[in-house]
């Protein structure tokens, strides 16, 4: 039995060794044994699974306490929005409070009691703002409170003017006391509030805010003394609205000039000062404009408000442009976006002013003339070349509308479109283009010079389009030949521009204008009527001669100018444009080819006629 067990043990060892060669057996039966013996089960090396490392559990952040939530909630970016909402709510509620007090106290024995109570309320808000800044050391909250108080000052003037009795004489003692004490008191409140809002620029703030507020007293008296229907006139509405607009534009313009001098060194506070000043000034002007809504609502009155709206729009546009140009850091991208948004808003308001004035000719004339003046002032004063380009366009539109106003054209959309494509309008635009080019040639700033030349080219192109349209659709003389005159003048102007602007596009435009002029000149009915006896081939010689003469004349003037100035200038653009024009003029006219062939044939015939074989040769030809 023991020997059998030993043999059995060796058999088991043999089976285990074979298992090392990755062979698996379910169950082995040993010879001589009646009971099957289980063998060891070994998994293949490939099938063994490697367990992944156990990742530590993510720690659960602790719950934030109420104080931490309130601290995050009171961050400056969140506080600003709630201050804005609170300020608007306070202003709206205050207006309702003033109206309610006026109803309750309109029969009070003391005049101007509503304005007096309201002034005390404003003084309390200003006092709270100063206390928060100086004692509680909360500058953001204190400035927000003072801004609300500053915005309430124009409303205080409304409470003292609009909501009081209309039959108070200028010599009334209560009126004199109200003017003598109320105006200085409100001015002092504005000085205190604005000096704590912006200590460096409080003067411009005060001019832009309090100037239109003081103008309410004058506007109220002028409106009361005016005849019924006086403010149905566009000129009267614009004249009375200039009283609040002049101080607002003055204060904002001085501040924008300072910001423009900073260039790209503007900070966040500088940009915020522009936003605050625009808000204060526009709100004060709108408060003064509220007086006029009681005295006119017809089309002329609404058209009269288009010019003040345009002035406000261009002021907003200029402020947005300065902020957009001055803020360059990526960390201030939001501030720069606000500046861009102001530019878009100002442009939209300008378009709205034009829509408001349309189609009243006088209203549109005032809008265009105002835009011309404001564009020139802001373009030069704030060093914005883009506004100079806009000034050229506004000047051309002003001349067109002035012509319509002088001729008493009916204010109708269809009539205005017809008179835009009008013969004299092409001459108006061309004259404006020449004036802009001459003015630009005397400017020292390269950017302003380029803007004026670009504007002159744009107006000149519009003049050419109008002239061509008139020449095509108008058969009566001399309007049918208007394009001929416009092409000639613009070609001369383009050649003169080559002397000031070194650019290949200019001489290409000059060459094209000369080409268009001579092409139109050749086929002009006026030329064909007066030079009918001249053949086309001889007329082509005349065209080439005149074109070459023009080119030589321009080159001579340029060389003469170079000698006077003592400078050596390159004349290749002039030569190239003249040569190109002459060549293209010849190629354009097919008759030139027949002229050359005819000249050669005539010379050959003359030569052969002098020999004895002339007859045979002529018959062959």
SS3 of 376-412: the string is HHHHHHCCCHHHHHHHHHHHHHHHHHHHHHHCCCCCC
Q: Kindly report, residue by residue over 474-483, the tens digit of the pLDDT.
A: 655 555 566 6
- φ, ψ dihedrals at 441, nearest 5°: -70, -20
- For residue 258, pLDDT over 80 is answered with yes
For a pLDDT cut of 90, what percent of the chain falls above it? Answer: 5
Cα separation, 240 vs 472, in Å, equals: 46
User: Which range scores top for mean pLDDT: 30-44, 95-109, 172-186, 189-203?
Assistant: 189-203
- φ, ψ dihedrals at 257, nearest 5°: -65, -40
Q: Which is higher by pLDDT, 442 or 206?
A: 206
- φ, ψ dihedrals at 314, nearest 5°: -70, -30
Assess contact for 366 and 398: CB atoms under 8 A.
no
The average pLDDT across 455-465 equals 81
**Least-confidence region, from 53-67, 217-231, 607-621:** 607-621
pLDDT for res 206: 93
- The DSSP output letter for 28 is B
The average pLDDT across 414-421 equals 79
- φ, ψ dihedrals at 589, nearest 5°: -85, 115
Q: How many CA atoms lie within 13 A of 504 on its CB side?
A: 1
Beta pairing partners, 37: 28
- φ, ψ dihedrals at 91, nearest 5°: -65, -45
Cα separation, 176 vs 119, in Å, equals: 17
- For residue 616, pLDDT over 50 is answered with no
pLDDT for res 526: 58
The average pLDDT across 113-127 equals 84
User: Is the C-alpha dihedral spanning 219, 225, 229, 235 positive or negative?
Assistant: negative
Assess contact for 325 and 383: CB atoms under 8 A.
no
Assigned token pair, 340: 């861009």
Q: Closest Cα partner for 466 from 496, 486, 447? A: 486
Q: Which is higher by pLDDT, 82 or 121?
A: 121
Assigned token pair, 55: 């990742």
CA angle 206, 211, 217 (to 5 degrees): 140
Helix 423-442 crosses helix 482-498 at what angle (to 10 degrees)? 10
The average pLDDT across 164-193 equals 80
Q: What confidence tier does 335 reach under pLDDT thresholds 50, 70, 90?
A: confident
pLDDT for res 512: 67
Assigned token pair, 329: 């850091």
- The DSSP output letter for 529 is H
pLDDT for res 7: 45
Assigned token pair, 388: 């100079």
Q: What confidence tier does 164 reach under pLDDT thresholds 50, 70, 90?
A: low
Assess contact for 527 and 546: CB atoms under 8 A.
no
Q: Closest Cα partner for 159 from 79, 239, 216? A: 216
Q: Kindly report, residue by residue over 225-251, the tens digit of the pLDDT.
A: 766 666 667 777 788 888 899 999 999
State the average pLDDT for the chain: 72
The average pLDDT across 201-226 equals 86
User: Which range scores top for mean pLDDT: 134-148, 169-183, 421-435?
Assistant: 134-148
Longest dimension (CA), the chain: 155
Cα separation, 482 vs 424, in Å, equals: 9
- For residue 390, pLDDT over 60 is answered with yes
Give this prediction's pTM: 0.64
Cα separation, 377 vs 387, in Å, equals: 9
Cα separation, 587 vs 589, in Å, equals: 5
Assigned token pair, 371: 């835009």
Q: Closest Cα partner for 295 from 363, 354, 212, 222? A: 222
Q: What confidence tier does 204 reach under pLDDT thresholds 50, 70, 90?
A: very high
- For residue 142, pLDDT over 90 is answered with no
CA angle 94, 149, 309 (to 5 degrees): 80
SS3 for 13? Answer: helix
pLDDT for res 211: 92
Assess contact for 157 and 212: CB atoms under 8 A.
no
- Judge residue 242's burial from the number of C-beta atoms within 10 Å of its C-beta, 0-12 exposed, 13-18 middle, 19 or more buried: middle
Which residues are CB-neighbours of 359 under 8 A, at least 6 positions away?
A: 411, 412, 413, 416
Q: Kindly report, residue by residue over 512-556, the tens digit of the pLDDT.
A: 666 666 666 666 665 555 554 455 555 555 565 566 556 656 665
Locate the DSSP E strands across 206-305.
none
Q: Which is higher by pLDDT, 620 or 325?
A: 325
The average pLDDT across 198-217 equals 90
Q: Closest Cα partner for 550 from 524, 572, 518, 584? A: 518
pLDDT for res 53: 61
User: Which range scores top for mean pLDDT: 362-376, 507-521, 578-592, 603-617?
Assistant: 362-376
Q: Which is higher by pLDDT, 172 or 586?
A: 172
pLDDT for res 502: 57
Q: Kindly report, residue by residue over 278-292, the tens digit of the pLDDT.
A: 989 999 998 887 777
pLDDT for res 363: 80
pLDDT for res 188: 92
pLDDT for res 203: 92
The average pLDDT across 45-53 equals 53
DSSP assignment of 160-215 equals HHTTS-S---TT-HHHHHIIIIIHHHHHHHHHHHHHHH-SSSHHHHHHHHHHHHHH
- For residue 365, pLDDT over 60 is answered with yes
Q: Closest Cα partner for 490 from 430, 414, 413, 548? A: 430
The average pLDDT across 120-146 equals 86
Cα separation, 20 vs 24, in Å, equals: 9
CA angle 373, 378, 381 (to 5 degrees): 115
- For residue 506, pLDDT over 50 is answered with yes
């Amino acid at each position: 039995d023991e020997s059998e067990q030993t043999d059995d043990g060796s058999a088991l060892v043999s089976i285990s060794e074979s298992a090392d060669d990755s062979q698996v057996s379910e169950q082995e039966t040993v010879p001589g044994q009646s009971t099957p013996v289980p063998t060891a089960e070994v998994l293949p090396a490939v099938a063994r699974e490697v367990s992944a490392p156990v990742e530590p559990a993510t720690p659960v952040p602790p719950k934030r306490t109420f104080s931490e939530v309130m601290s995050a909630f009171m961050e400056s970016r969140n506080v600003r929005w709630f201050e804005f909402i609170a300020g608007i709510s306070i202003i709206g509620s205050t207006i309702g409070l003033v109206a309610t007090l006026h109803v309750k106290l309109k029969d009070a024995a003391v005049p101007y009691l509503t304005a007096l109570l309201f002034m005390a309320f404003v003084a309390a808000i200003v006092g709270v703002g100063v206390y928060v800044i100086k004692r509680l050391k909360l500058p953001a909250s204190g400035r927000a409170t003072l801004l609300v108080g500053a915005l309430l000052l124009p409303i205080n003037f409304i409470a003292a003017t609009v909501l009081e009795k209309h039959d108070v004489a200028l010599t009334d003692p209560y009126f004199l006391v109200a003017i003598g004490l109320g105006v200085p008191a409100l001015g002092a409140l504005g000085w205190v509030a604005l000096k704590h809002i912006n200590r460096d620029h409080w003067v411009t703030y005060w001019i832009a805010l309090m100037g239109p507020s003081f103008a309410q007293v004058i506007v109220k008296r002028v409106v009361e003394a005016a005849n019924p229907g006086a403010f149905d006139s566009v000129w009267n509405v614009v004249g009375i609205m200039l009283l609040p607009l002049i101080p607002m534009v003055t204060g904002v313009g001085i501040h924008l000039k300072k910001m423009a001098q900073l260039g790209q060194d503007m900070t966040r506070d500088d940009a915020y000062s522009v936003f605050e000043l625009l808000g204060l000034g526009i709100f004060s002007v709108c408060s003064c404009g509220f007086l006029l809504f009681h005295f006119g609502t017809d089309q002329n009155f609404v058209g009269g408000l288009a010019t003040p709206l345009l002035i406000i729009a261009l002021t907003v546009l200029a402020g947005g442009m300065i902020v957009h140009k001055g803020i360059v850091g990526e960390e201030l991208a939001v501030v720069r976006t606000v500046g861009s948004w102001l530019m878009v808003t100002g442009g939209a308001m300008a378009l709205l002013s034009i829509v408001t004035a349309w189609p009243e000719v006088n209203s549109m004339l005032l809008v265009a003339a105002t835009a011309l003046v404001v564009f020139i002032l802001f373009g030069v004063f704030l060093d914005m070349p883009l506004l100079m380009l806009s000034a050229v366009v506004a000047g051309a539109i002003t001349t067109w509308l002035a012509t319509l106003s002088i001729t008493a054209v009916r204010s109708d959309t269809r009539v205005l479109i017809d008179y835009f494509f009008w013969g004299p309008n092409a001459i108006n635009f061309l004259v404006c283009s020449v004036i802009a080019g001459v003015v630009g040639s005397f400017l020292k700033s390269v950017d302003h010079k380029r803007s004026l030349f670009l504007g002159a080219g744009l107006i000149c192109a519009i003049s050419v389009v109008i002239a061509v349209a008139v020449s095509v659709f108008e058969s009566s003389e001399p309007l049918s030949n208007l394009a001929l005159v416009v092409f000639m003048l613009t070609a001369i102007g383009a050649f003169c521009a080559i002397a000031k602007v070194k650019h290949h596009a200019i001489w290409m435009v000059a060459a094209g204008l000369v080409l268009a002029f001579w092409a139109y000149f050749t086929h002009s009915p006026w030329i064909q009527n007066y030079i009918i006896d001249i053949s086309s081939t001889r007329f082509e010689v005349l065209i080439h001669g005149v074109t070459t003469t023009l080119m030589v004349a321009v080159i001579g003037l340029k060389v003469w100018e170079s000698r006077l100035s003592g400078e050596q200038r390159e004349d290749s653009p002039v030569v190239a444009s003249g040569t190109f024009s002459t060549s293209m003029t010849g190629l354009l006219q097919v008759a030139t080819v027949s002229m050359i062939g005819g000249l050669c044939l005539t010379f050959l015939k003359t030569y052969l006629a002098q020999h004895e074989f002339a007859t045979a040769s002529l018959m062959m030809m």
